[in-house]
Amino acid sequence: MLERLLEVNQIAHSGKGDPSLIDQLNEGLPPAYDYGLAVCFDDCGGYLEIKLTRGRSDVIYMSGPPMGCDPTGISKFGGKVENVVARLKRSLQALAASPITKDIHPLLSGILENYDQPEIAAQVKRKLEELDTKAVCRSEDIHPLYLEKCVQEYMVKDALRRYSSIPGKKQKGASLLSDNRDCSVCGSQGKLVYGNFSRLKCYNIDKRGMISGGFDYGKTVANFPVCLECIGNVSAGFTFAYTKENLTFSLCGERYLLLPTVTVKDGEMREFVLETIQREKNRSTLKSDILKHITNSEKELLQAAARPG
């Protein structure tokens, strides 16, 4: 599966120059997130108001661990408002504690001083009650923290820290980095590898009985070593396919990822296969002929392309 994502990323982003790790790790937001609420502060950290904003294509977002925080100071709405407001505060605290963001430390300190959690939660709830998402009175005059270069750099550093260390209580923070090893995704040799790459939740490395090498978190660099290039490329492929919903479809209430096996080498033909699958992906149904169409997509597409006229 990860190899398929590498391939999807290569086709989807070919000819677009060398992406930065920030761009590759950026999860962005799914298309359904077409509006948001911004908790606004002035340049000195004084609290201003809650503003309704448009969903933004330039959002730099990466999800953090469930009990932690999201590193760029924005969070998705889910569960209780109080929890989201508390999660945002943890993001501010994490940013304020990092030397990477020292240029905006005075601003972050001011915001934290004025971050009245119960009051902000109450105002967010009030705003949600009066919310008319179709209204056009949305504010564009905000400057989100994620636009700061240092916040974006913090996001990358935080992700690589998580991918290279043991979470949880026991052995917390112990290194899962190892040099001069083979990458289990691309097969490159002699690479610096990370043992806890966890963008996709399709596997686990911390449950007893699930790992052929035996349970030992410290050995994940041997069980599932991933190089930095693959971390970036798989992440970007997954964002393109799943988060941006280019290669997903729904069946019986579940959302599935549809990853083509593209065997043709010709660049133009590979793009044709991918683009056509993107267009066709919503044709999912229980009808067997359509299911066959989905699973056998590349073969059918190539046959169609070969037909004269």
Nearest to 236 by CA among 15, 17, 28, 1: 28
Q: Which one of the spans 34-42, 109-117, 226-234, 252-260 is the region binding Zn ion (CB under 5 A)?
A: 226-234
Which stretches of 114-252 are DSSP H helices? Answer: 117-129, 149-163, 220-223, 228-238
**Binding status of residue 230 toward Zn ion by CB under 5 A:** yes
Residues of the chain by 3-state class (helix, strand, coil), percent to 5: 45, 10, 45
Q: Which one of the spans 24-32, 140-148, 151-159, 224-232 is the region binding Zn ion (CB under 5 A)?
A: 224-232
Which stretches of the chain are DSSP H helices? Answer: 2-12, 21-25, 81-96, 105-113, 117-129, 149-163, 220-223, 228-238, 267-280, 288-295, 297-306
Q: By C-beta, is 115 or 194 nearer to Zn ion?
A: 194
- 8 A C-beta contact, residue 176 and residue 221: yes
**Binding status of residue 231 toward Zn ion by CB under 5 A:** no
Taking the mean position of all CA atoms in its chain, how far away is CA 308? 42
Integer Cα distance of 220 and 217 in angstroms: 6
Q: By C-beta, is 5 or 88 nearer to Zn ion?
A: 5
Q: By C-beta, is 87 or 181 nearer to Zn ion?
A: 181
**Binding status of residue 183 toward Zn ion by CB under 5 A:** yes
Q: Which one of the spans 65-73, 220-228, 236-244, 260-268 is the region binding Zn ion (CB under 5 A)?
A: 220-228
Integer Cα distance of 61 and 47 in angstroms: 23
**Binding status of residue 227 toward Zn ion by CB under 5 A:** yes
Q: By C-beta, is 166 or 183 nearer to Zn ion?
A: 183
At its nearest, how many Å lie between Zn ion and the CB of residue 223? 15
Interhelix angle 149-163/81-96, nearest 10 degrees: 100
Encoded one letter per residue, x for contact with Zn ion by CB under 5 A and - for no contact, window 128-167 reads: ----------------------------------------
Q: Which one of the spans 83-91, 153-161, 179-187, 236-244 is the region binding Zn ion (CB under 5 A)?
A: 179-187
Q: What are phi and psi of 34, to 5 degrees?
A: -100, 0
Q: What are phi and psi of 42, to 5 degrees?
A: -85, -175
Q: By C-beta, is 190 or 267 nearer to Zn ion?
A: 190
**Binding status of residue 234 toward Zn ion by CB under 5 A:** no
Token pair for 179: 């040099």
**36 to each of 66, 78, 152, 184, how far by Cα in Å?**
20, 13, 20, 39
Q: By C-beta, is 154 or 194 nearer to Zn ion?
A: 194
Q: By C-beta, is 87 or 191 nearer to Zn ion?
A: 191
At its nearest, how many Å lie between Zn ion and the CB of residue 8? 15
Which residue reads 């290669």 in tokens? 247
Among positions 186, 200, 291, 302, the unique one binding Zn ion when judged by CB under 5 A: 186
At its nearest, how many Å lie between Zn ion and the CB of residue 184? 8
Could you tell me how many residues of this chain bind Zn ion (CB under 5 A)? 5
Binding site for Zn ion (CB under 5 A): 183, 185-186, 227, 230
